[in-house]
Structure 1
């Protein structure tokens, strides 16, 4: 294979292409499961009750994925890639089985945590596998295919959940993932039979230390915030929320003080640099926009009797808009990137604010429009935002900066899910799931996150300011 041109026929003949397709299955399993939860939620809550724990279903999954994703990249230095992949797939299968057979919401949440650990590890190991098992000259093409797989999973997950609920049961959806995880664990032993996959990486150098303390702070913080939303009581809930937010600040502080294991670059939230504004934008929009995916289908089916398959199509449309607009703006000139970031931010904030009116009203065309604006805004802004963040990081921190964007998104989703639980339960769901409670929740749930949408827009505008822009060269 000369240059960067990929000889796909030779890659297939060598068995490397089949290995790559297999490795990418881990991304498909994780991302499909992550997005499927939205459309099975109404049926699951109807069966298990515990609507006050709905926000936890995403929060604990993302927590597991964050911890396992950070761990997996380091574990390959001590344990063979094949063994890591087998354990991750088995963890995923066990978690899915616990979810499929859960008699109650707490048992279901335990399964989601185990699933998140397995799924997060599978994704991290997929990226490690590309670097370990394939020639450097074809990495960009392989990473591009992995991004496409993620996009397919993002819109197929909600549809899969809706179809399974319509035809069989929400439990069968997790049953399918149990089989998928078990099959992947078995196949890992057979397919990953190369020397690179069977030998630990320790010979190439020592692994960076694992951020135990920082991730411990993060896990405790998210659990405290989520717990504040269960059985709402003013003093208790306020205290738990306050402690959770202090814990989050401590997480970022501990991470900054440990350069050997840090997850984020310096100047993380500094409004004087493009990197700080960019990461502020990522954090604000990630926290603010996860509410529709968690509660949208539940509210639409309870309030307006919208078929679950219709809600699946709406969430899928949001993901499709993200993918299509991301492709359409990919070749825009770099001098326009900051204007494009601002346009994307305004689209996201408009979609978020629009949900506060359209979901209580029940207008499917307007809800679809808001979903397209929100998803399309991410598609427009995110590629350029990531480039600005990485380009403005210090030279020795650019690798950390590129990995920090998806990590911050996951943290945002986990924190946003926990905060959404507080808002939803405080505005009606603490008393159970019924039409009156859903009507109270529908408006407040989205209005409560509009201020964060405004913060995201301000951060985007600051990225476009000449005074902040000039800092990129200094960074």
Structure 2
């Protein structure tokens, strides 16, 4: 059926009146965040060779995700107090400051401070992009604009490792962050000029009293992940055990605090109850998010150290996982409900097989096998993720479905933060705590993947339980 002329989107008119130009600048924030998030994987080997601090690699993603989680939760509230334009400019400047600190870092701790600030700016830019679509553009073109955002995110995630490797190859790892400093400053200037409509220049107060911001819960989350990451530095049995236990207890406390704060909670109720469909799906999301961090954090470093693989090639390997995710998602997009159980279960098995395969392929240096495992892991997410996300959201209470939809990517970010910290502990226990050389890399390579297999098996068991519950849930 043809689309009515009155409902068609006139892209030329949108460009002429400035709407599309404004959206392009807004979307630049998505590109900055997504590219920088994945770029660090291929920048890390060159950076570690100059700054040392290989024992702190696991912090680079953990601390970035923490900043993004906190600022992303705050940004939607801040537009009720400060204008949208001011928020966008401030977020871009914060990102630029973080990138500049990374570019000029003289030590790994200084670099991590920059990563934290970058995460704060990047998380705010992403959240504000979605707010901006709702505030500044007519509802009839929201689907097209959100579709463009998804495409930009996907392209950025694909290209991040390759961009990082190319900049390091032709310039240096410092320029990888220096270039993003300049882009972010350019975005701040552009936002100040382009976001000039009344809706963008004035604050929009809420019609209702704003609920309090969940400072306590997010502070507990931040401290918990930092405890876990700290446990992997300067390994000592008593100290590391205590810090790890405190970190895990902190994560439990975070979810308890979130559950009790009915007005500010970030997650649906009973989200980890394995007796419910929603709980099984959420446990599956958490388990696979934590267990698949090792490739992005340690894959390039291990391949370059053990086998002399070029950074450009390692960038292609990391990017292939994201490409496989997107391609497989598109291929199964039209699969009917009857195929959902098979796709979810098959995806869970593919992810687990990919993790196990890396433990063999990376130590042995088979690039073809490493690439195959990356495609297997990414493709597993691609064929399962759309369907168990739909099941999670549809199984939530009607009043919590919006929260459930946003909770999936939020839990994924928390999983990445905790997973990268745990991967740092595993790697340091296996040998990186004493330095980086070929011998220690050979000892770390299998362990940093095999250590997460039990958690991947938890994800598979939840997939089995989720699939088994579907007929009963559909007939209920």
TM range (shorter): over 0.9
Does the aligned pair in 2 maintain the 1:94–1:114 contact within 8 Å? yes
1:356 matched to 2:356? The reply is no
Q: How does 1:113-262 map to 2 (within 5 A)?
A: 113-262=116-265
Q: For 1:19 and 1:44, locate their aligned partners in 2 and report how far apart those are by CA, in whole Å.
A: 36
Deviations, residues 33-54 of structure 1 (Å, cap 9, x unaligned): 0000000110000000000000
Does the aligned pair in 2 maintain the 1:78–1:202 contact within 8 Å? yes
Could you tell me which of 422, 427, 431 is aligned with 1:428? 431
Deviations, residues 394-428 of structure 1 (Å, cap 9, x unaligned): 00101100100110010000000100000000000
Deviations, residues 221-264 of structure 1 (Å, cap 9, x unaligned): 00000000000011110010001000000000000000100000
Does the aligned pair in 2 maintain the 1:30–1:122 contact within 8 Å? yes
Match of 2:451 in 1: 448
Could you tell me which of 441, 465, 472 is aligned with 1:470? 472
Match of 1:36 in 2: 39
Does the aligned pair in 2 maintain the 1:356–1:443 contact within 8 Å? yes
Q: For 1:327 and 1:8, locate their aligned partners in 2 and report how far apart those are by CA, in whole Å.
A: 25
Match of 2:73 in 1: 70
* Structure 1: gaps of 5 or more residues: none
Does the aligned pair in 2 maintain the 1:342–1:381 contact within 8 Å? yes
1:50 matched to 2:53? The reply is yes
Match of 1:89 in 2: 92
Match of 1:271 in 2: 274
Match of 2:291 in 1: 288
Query: What is the deviation of 1:206?
Result: 3.5
Q: For 1:182 and 1:206, locate their aligned partners in 2 and report how far apart those are by CA, in whole Å.
A: 34
Query: What is the deviation of 1:335?
Result: 2.7
Q: What is the number of equivalent residue pairs in this alignment? A: 473
Match of 2:108 in 1: 105
TM-score using structure 2 length: 0.97
Deviations, residues 432-464 of structure 1 (Å, cap 9, x unaligned): 111111011001000000111111111111111
Label 1:469 to 1:196 Cα distance change in 2 as closer, same or farther (>3 A): farther
Label 1:274 to 1:38 Cα distance change in 2 as closer, same or farther (>3 A): same
CA RMSD of aligned residues (A): 1.3
Q: For 1:16 and 1:2, locate their aligned partners in 2 and report how far apart those are by CA, in whole Å.
A: 20
Query: What is the deviation of 1:336?
Result: 1.8
Match of 2:292, SS state, is helix
Label 1:272 to 1:418 Cα distance change in 2 as closer, same or farther (>3 A): same
* Structure 2: gaps of 5 or more residues: none
Query: What is the deviation of 1:334?
Result: 2.2
Match of 2:29 in 1: 26
Match of 2:11 in 1: 8
Does the aligned pair in 2 maintain the 1:273–1:471 contact within 8 Å? no
1:419 matched to 2:422? The reply is yes
- Higher alpha-carbon deviation: 253-262 or 14-23: 14-23
Match of 1:202, SS state, is coil
Does the aligned pair in 2 maintain the 1:3–1:137 contact within 8 Å? no
Label 1:3 to 1:447 Cα distance change in 2 as closer, same or farther (>3 A): farther
Deviations, residues 259-280 of structure 1 (Å, cap 9, x unaligned): 1000000110111222111111
Does the aligned pair in 2 maintain the 1:273–1:472 contact within 8 Å? no
Does the aligned pair in 2 maintain the 1:391–1:472 contact within 8 Å? no
Q: For 1:247 and 1:457, locate their aligned partners in 2 and report how far apart those are by CA, in whole Å.
A: 26
TM-score using structure 1 length: 0.98
Does the aligned pair in 2 maintain the 1:74–1:208 contact within 8 Å? no
Q: How does 1:239-388 map to 2 (within 5 A)?
A: 239-388=242-391
Q: For 2:338 and 2:393, locate their aligned partners in 1 and report how far apart those are by CA, in whole Å.
A: 16
- Higher alpha-carbon deviation: 115-124 or 378-387: 378-387
Match of 1:193, SS state, is coil
Q: For 1:124 and 1:50, locate their aligned partners in 2 and report how far apart those are by CA, in whole Å.
A: 32
Query: What is the deviation of 1:205?
Result: 3.5
